Amino acid sequence: MQYQNPIIPGFHPDPSICRVGEDYYLVNSTFEYFPGVPIFHSKDLIHWELIGHCLTRESQVMLAKGFPNSIGIYAPTLRYYNGRFYMITTNITYSDTGSGNFIVWTDDPYGEWSDPIWIDLPGIDPSLFFDDDGRVYYTGTYQNIFLCEIDIETGKLIREKKDIWGGTGGCDPEGPHLYKMNGYYYLFISEGGTSQGHMLTVARSKTIDGPYIPCPRNPVLTNRSLSLPIKAVGHADVIQAHDGSWWAVCLGIRPVPYPDRHHLGRETFLAPVKWDDDMWPIFGNNGSIDIVMEAKCLPEVLVPKIEVRDDFDHSSFDYSWNFIYNPDPSLFSLTERQGFLTLKGNEISLDDKETSAWLGRRQEHMACTVRTKLKFDIVKDGEEAGLSIFLNCDHHYEIALTMVEDDKKIIFRRKIGSLWKVENSIPFSGDEVIFEMTATPNVYHFAYIDDTGNPVPVGQGEVHYLSTEVGGKFTGNYIVLYATGHGKKCTNPAYFDWFDYQYE
């Protein structure tokens, strides 16, 4: 049987997975975006449904501002033990406020998660391991991979941390996950940096404290130096399915050549796992993965089709929508005007690393078309609302309705690092407009829809300048609805009637 990668497209890095009977749950990193740590459910490991988020309240997470694409929520691990789900992660803030490693838990993955249980340990990429004797171990990344026994209820250390493995010599040993199987403790980590040299390596030991002996075939999973469409493969989590088969979820990228650059972010991929005669793992196609994979899969169980249109006729946001940083509820509403998304532009623009009237969802397909209908009664110069494709505050393109010297305009703007320019400005007399963005692997095209229903081109921008290699670090591109007063609050709200996302 064949299946197709990625299993979760778009910005969904650092996957971690657990199984409960015949149900599978998966989480990803979210960095500066809120709510944090999406949780997916599947019955067959291939088709996944987004069922919520682990971090939905300020009491759980305060996201730092000012360092987009590089801080926030890192590399979660999801585990299930004695009827309870545990998610452990790191909030990187570069301050003493809300920074560090913590656990949240729930008995219902569709419901709310607990407030954080903080753990006084350094580093990133924490993971949990529940041993057969009931002891709970924490593995983390701090120069080397270390191990520590903890109290799962309080987060307190039961014994001091101990370095257990430094990897095979690749840079940045990280992303540890510990398992017990085949009479060994297996320690999987990633090395080589989370880019083209990324790789998964493994070592094992008869005792949990080590010594850990590396696999003679390391790396056991990597696409480095291969002419495959998937690159930067690593950060894997291994699971045994309910039929006895073994699988791994991992991150990877699908760059556009040449030279390689990627803009959808690091995505979630799936690889079958087998065991050789010496009980070492064999991942995917003898240590690599591809877009189309051959494997004996679980029986197919489809999930509801991804909603591609939002009429904003509910009282709460679809799980696919995110905010940048912790949101200010006074800036948005789904109930103030029935059937509309209301955004109240404040002083903050797309260029500013602060909370703004900003609502986005991941671009998950290289080829897609987005439309939205905006109603915006502009009163003063600088008031603006529109549609943006957004990597971070320094790299974005947008089409917008605004006022310049008391004249209404439709504009197309590009922001590329320190370069900023309104590329086109078209007089416009109305206060309602449909904006369109069409994405190809290399170019974003922007237009508005005229009275005859035809798109009127306004501008275009190269995908290259909104790629991780040019302007970002750890995230991917978002499609954003926004409003701003550029230094002043907008006189009136911007109303978005609907949003439509079509993909090939």
Same domain, 285 and 326: no
pLDDT above 70 covers what percent of the chain? 100
The one catalytic residue in 32, 44, 174, 237 is 174
Same domain, 366 and 492: yes
Beta strands in 429-493 (DSSP E): 432-439, 443-449, 455-462, 478-484
pLDDT band at 98 (very low <50, low <70, confident <90, very high): confident
Is residue 302 in some structural domain? Answer: no
Closest to 92 measured CA to CA, from 75, 106, 114, 113: 75
Degrees, nearest 5: CA angle 207-78-245: 70
Same domain, 322 and 193: no
Same domain, 138 and 283: yes
Is residue 274 in some structural domain? Answer: yes
pLDDT tens, residue by residue, 402-424: 999 999 999 999 999 999 999 99
Same domain, 83 and 226: yes
Is residue 304 in some structural domain? Answer: no
Quick check: is 174 catalytic? yes
Mean pLDDT of all residues in 163-175: 97
**Residue of higher predicted confidence among 67 and 408:** 408
Domain that holds residue 317: 309-503
Same domain, 388 and 478: yes
Same domain, 472 and 326: yes
What tokens does 85 get? 């789900």
Is residue 378 in some structural domain? Answer: yes
Looking at 231, 261, 294, the residue that finishes a domain is: 294
CA-to-CA distance for 447 and 459, rounded, in angstroms? 7
pLDDT tens, residue by residue, 25-46: 999 999 999 999 999 999 999 9
Looking at 269, 294, 319, the residue that finishes a domain is: 294
Same domain, 402 and 313: yes
CA-to-CA distance for 298 and 54, rounded, in angstroms? 27
CA-to-CA distance for 326 and 101, rounded, in angstroms? 19
Query: What pLDDT does residue 196 have?
Result: 94
The yes-or-no verdict on residue 97 having pLDDT over 80 is no
Phi-psi label, residue 86: left if phi above 0, alpha if psi -120 to 50, beta otherwise: beta
CA-to-CA distance for 200 and 221, rounded, in angstroms? 5
| 75 neighbors 14 (Cβ within 8 angstroms) | yes
Same domain, 218 and 365: no
CA-to-CA distance for 478 and 322, rounded, in angstroms? 9
Same domain, 317 and 287: no
Is residue 260 in some structural domain? Answer: yes
| DSSP code of residue 442 | S
Q: Give me the chain's average pLDDT, please.
A: 97
Residue 171: CB atoms within 10 Å: 10
Same domain, 345 and 224: no
Mean pLDDT of all residues in 379-397: 98
| 371 neighbors 434 (Cβ within 8 angstroms) | yes
Mean pLDDT of all residues in 160-170: 97
Query: What pLDDT does residue 149 have?
Result: 98
Closest to 67 measured CA to CA, from 324, 254, 267, 314: 324
Query: What pLDDT does residue 95 have?
Result: 74
CA-to-CA distance for 420 and 52, rounded, in angstroms? 37
| DSSP code of residue 211 | P
The three-state secondary structure class of 17 is: strand
Is residue 186 in some structural domain? Answer: yes
Mean pLDDT of all residues in 486-493: 98
Backbone φ and ψ for 268, nearest 5 degrees, come out as -100, 125
Query: What pLDDT does residue 307 have?
Result: 74
What tokens does 255 get? 């760059």
The yes-or-no verdict on residue 306 having pLDDT over 80 is no
The count of structural domains within the chain is 2
Same domain, 278 and 414: no
Mean pLDDT of all residues in 167-178: 97
Task: Check which CATH number belongs to the domain holding 47 and give it.
Answer: 2.115.10.20
pLDDT band at 162 (very low <50, low <70, confident <90, very high): very high
Dihedral of alpha carbons 356, 357, 362, 365, sign: negative
Residue 3 has, within 13 A of its CA and on its CB side, a CA count of 22
The one catalytic residue in 14, 237, 383, 398 is 14
